[in-house]
Structures are given as structure tokens and as C-alpha cells.
Structure 1
């Protein structure tokens, strides 16, 4: 698997929260070579399984979310302008002059309009424009014939290579997590001596409700789960707390949301296999699917791996490919030997 090409394929899939099913079919096809069972459910969750063939084997679930932040059209105005509302955690500061794709029956290009500085009143340059006052310019004179209220919108563009092994683009939260699981599953497909069944959940609606993690985990009923997501990487202007080394390897979450025995076992694997990792202390809600998965059905022993990411929830999210591949390697090395035995 060429990991950058995989990322390009994944990041090109439009999947605003609640509009995942079409993208889910593509991800399901990407998983089929490595899994014996693959399906897409009513919400757009991708569910897959690789059985070890042993009776009463434990099941470990690998999760990453498919959905992305985006927008919905709320009004279509004369002159090809659209009003819109955010879906998920959208920061209005970075929207003006942005490029978007309107997911009409035939996708359309648009730009978020902005007044030039010459037309602003004194002091207005220092104020953030509320999203409900912004407009998207499509240039269409017949926009009402092509675009309906409720149409989803995503950021435009595709991932680009920066210097070294850095990649920047939209939706790396959490397509990078999906790419890590795909890479691990490719390697696990050749393993003949697994001691656990491996289930994969590529989940819907993480950015808004956690619905996909809840329903998908309930469908699988695993005893163990690993959520794979992203967390904040350091930049020179970032605060001192809550950010991690870019290129320092995956973050292993530690906190009350996360099963201590499973977490410790993953840390031991990283040390034994000489895989770089960092520790992220998470004293409460992790803000990820791990929070939801742990309380499904009879309860699930859950761990969290996060890929360091810059500029979260923007069109220029950035990761280092070494962090992604280290995450994939840690998943593979842990799962290939996992037999369900962990401490409390």
C-alpha cells in the first residue's frame, strides 16, 4: 500500500456528517481484500471482520471515523449566492475566501465571498464574521435550478506533499486514522496464527453525535476496542499544554475513559517493537469515539491511539507520514499477538 496515494483516495471522498453512505461504499471496497466480511449499514458505517478461525476467540475492534466537518445549504439567493450552516466544529475565522465544493447532483465549485478591505468600515477588519452572515458565490445565474436547501458542502482541494514526509489537506481528521487501519489490515491479512478475531468499524457521525461508534460497536459486541483518531501537534504559536511532537509517533491515551490493562499492553508492544510513541493524559472525555465505545452493551475495554495533526478542522490539516506509519505498525504488532489477556 502506497500510503500517500491511499490518503489522496480517502480525502477525496465527500462525507459530511450524516452523508457518509456513498463514501462508505468506496472504503468498504478498500477493505475487502483483507477481510472475510464487509458491509455498510443504514447510517453509513463500514463494518468488516477477519476471523482467526479459533472457537471462542476474543474480538478486538479497530475504529476510525469517516465523516468530516462541512456545511449545509440553508438558502439559495439570486445571483448564485448561497447561505449555509456549519456541520461539526467549524471555525469561522478561516472560512472567508475559502474554496468549497457543493455536492449537488453534479458537484459545483464555489468560493466563500468576502468584502475587500477597501469597503470595510473602521474596525471591521478586527472582527470575525459570523457564519450565518457569510455567503458562497457559485457564479451561477440559475443556482436555484441546480442547488436545493440541505445540499452538503465540503472544502475543496486534495492533499499535497510538503517538505520531507509532511502532508497537508482537508479531512486528514480522520482519514489518516482510516489509512492507518487499512495499512495494518493489509499486513494482518497475511497472518496465519492470529489468536483473536479482528473487526473494523469505519464509523459515521463522529463529528456531531457519535452515533456510528455506538451503533457499530453494538453490532460487533467486541470485548476490546482501539479508537484511532488525531490530536494536536506542536507549532510555534501553540500553547505549551495539550500539544505533542510532530514526528514523535502516535499518542497513546491514558485516562479514566481508557482501559488501563489494554493501554499498558499497547505501550509494552511499542517498547518491545521499538516504535516511537507519546503519552497523552486525558483526564475526562477524550472527544473521540473511545468515549462512546466504552459503554456500549456489556462495556468494552477501550484504548485510544491518536496521530499528531496540525491545524485541526481546517482545509490545511497536516500530518507526518512517519506518524501515520508508526501508528499502523503499532496496531499490526499489537493485534497479531493479541490473545485477549490484559491486566485490570
Structure 2
């Protein structure tokens, strides 16, 4: 399976925060040939261990979160309409008219209904509709018997190519991170490893980072790298808060990160001529790294991010070269790391 096919498969997996089990089973099978052991915990976090031949070797943990933003059914109304609420951070301004998939045993199609401009009251067009006032139209007169309250919902948008080198889809946050780790593992020569490599595709990052918290506590790594996404430049975005689209992997720098580990990644990117950008993260990084850093007795932490446009929308967009740069840096670091870092 090539890169695009794998990414397409990953983005098609339903995994709303708290409902990751189905996606976890598929991702576990994708991981299984690349490591020595794979487990799925009760929350849907997938973990794997790649054992190195070196005695008393230290452990490096690679994490990307498996869950995606979505919605949950709160009420079924007459005429096939659903009331719903978001799971994770969703901007209500872009929901009206969206296509969604309702994750019943046999998935169902729905659309977020919207009032035609002809029927709007004066001034309504300039107002954002609160999510609790929105409805999903299923077109099913028997919806009450087919769609239980509590059913999760995801955006329907499939992966599409934008030009030659970019892709757009729902949940590239953080299925792109999952793929970066899978790509990196394929490049590693197990016989030459100097550290054990733990892999974690974690549940519930969008709400609590529960999967990262419990998984890191269980695995007890010496070092950890969170692989996530961050904001890529667009003409309308703040220039000082966004990074070059196609500019390479983003290496986080700040109090959430171990300085020696971060500098080791920067030195390696320069030596290997891997495109990279420095992302200053002065406080809570909004990633699993914030939780992983303090799990158990503490973990020396780093963050690698893939530049992403339109985060938390159905049209998240990524440059493939940024994904490759992230995978290359992970693979090179793990392959050459002996378990010790210095400033």
C-alpha cells in the first residue's frame, strides 16, 4: 500500500474521541508487522514495542493521537432530524451544509441543515448559528428506531488531492502523525537499534489526553516524542502564529520540551539536510506532550509537528513533503540514538 492509499485508509477510520475502538483494531494490524508486540487498552489506545538487541537499553516513545473531532447525537426528532453536540473543538461557522456520517452499525448519511437566504429574517445572515440550535437531516422517517441517542458522528469528507503535492481530508489531525510514525518504522534497521522503540497511537487527545496519560504511565519511557500537527500559513492567518506550508517538520521549543532532546533533533535535521522549522511554544502546547511530560516520574519530551491548514475542519490540508520530513527525522533519530543526550 502506497502513501496516499495508506493515508486514505487512515482518514476513513471512524474514531471520534471516546469511540476509538474500531479504528484502534485496524491501526493495530497496520502496526503489527513493524514491531515485536501490539496491545490495545480498554480506552482504544494502541501500543507497540520494537525491542533492540542492546542490553539495558533505554526506551523512546513515539506518540500520535488516534482520535478525531466529531459529534454525538443528543436527541432524535420527528421527520428524521437530529440534535447534536460537538466532541472536541469545532467552529460552528463552518458546519451549516456539511455532510456527515452517522456511525450506527450500518453507517448513515446526513447533512447539517441550513435556512435558505430567502427565509432568513433581516440580520440573520450575519450571525453564527449556535451548534445547539443546528439540526442534522437524515431524511429517515424511522430515524428514532435506527439512531440511538449517544451515537457518534463524523465529517464525511474523503481524502482528495490538491495539485501534485498536497492532500485535504477530515482528521489529518492526527492521522498524518500516525502515518509519519508508520513510515519511520519502515525505515528502521532493527538489528542496529541502540534503544527500544515504544509506539503509542493514543485515545482521547481532543478532550483529556487520557490515552497519553495512561499509556505513558504504563510504558515508562525514558524519552518521548509527540507527533502532531500545527498551523500552516494561509494569506488570512496571523503570520507570527503560522509556519511555511511545505517548509518541513516543525520542532517545538519551550518549557514543555526537554532542551537537550530538542537540540539533538535540530542538530540531526541540519546534519541530514531534513527541512525543519522552529516552533516556539511558550506554555501549554495543546498536545499530548503536556501530559506525557509528567507521567510517572517524568519523561524527557520533544514535539514534532506537521504544518496543517484549516485545523479542526473537514478540509484539513497538508503538504506531503512535510509528512515525509517528519517521518525522516523520526527514523534517523531513533536509528542513531544511543539513549544519551547532551546540550
TM (norm. structure 2) is 0.99
CA displacement 1:49-81 (0-9 Å, x = unmatched): 100022210000000000000000000000000
C-alpha displacement at 1:3, in angstroms?
A: 1.3
**Aligned-residue offset at 1:110:** 0.1
Cα deviation, residue 11, structure 1? 0.2
Alignment of 1:171-186 (within 5 A): 171-186=171-186
Cα displacement (A) at 1:209: 0.5
* In 1: Cα distance, 2:157 partner to 2:247 partner: 27
Superposed CA RMSD: 0.7
* Aligned equivalents of 1:164, 1:246: Cα separation in 2: 14
Q: Following the alignment from structure 2 to structure 1, what is the Cα–Cα distance between the partners of residues 239 and 298?
A: 35
User: Does residue 87 of the first structure (1) align with residue 87 of the second (2)?
Assistant: yes
Q: Who is 1:287 aligned against?
A: 286
- Listed one character per residue, the Cα deviations across residues 304-342 of structure 1 (whole Å, up to 9, x for unaligned) are 000000000000000000000110000000100111111
Alignment of 1:15-34 (within 5 A): 15-34=15-34
For each residue in 1:7-32, what CA deviation from the matched residue of structure 2 results, as whole angstroms up to 9, or x when unmatched? 10100000000000111010000001
1:262 paired residue number: 261
CA shift, 1:157, in A, is 2.3
Q: Deviations over 1:131-182 (max 9, x none)?
A: 0000000000100110000000000021100112000010000000000000
Aligned-partner Cα distance in 2 for 1:128–1:120: 13
SS in structure 1 opposite 2:239? Answer: coil
Question: Does residue 50 of structure 2 align to residue 50 of structure 1?
Answer: yes
1 CA distance for matches of 2:266 and 2:156?
Answer: 38
Question: How far off is 1:187 after superposition?
Answer: 1.3
For 1:60, the equivalent position in structure 2 comes to 60
Structure 1 gaps of 5+ residues are none
Q: Deviations over 1:218-239 (max 9, x none)?
A: 1110010000000000001111
Q: Match of 2:323?
A: 324
Give the whole-Å Cα distance in 2 for the aligned partners of 1:333 and 1:301. 18
Structure 2 unpaired stretches of 5+: none
Deviations 1:75-114 (A, max 9, x none): 0000000000000000000000000000012100000000
Which residue in the other structure is 1:35 paired with?
35
1:1-344 residue pairs with structure 2 within 5 A? 2-188=2-188, 190-343=189-342
Q: Secondary structure at the match of 1:97?
A: coil
Q: Distance in 2 between matches of 1:191 and 1:327?
A: 20
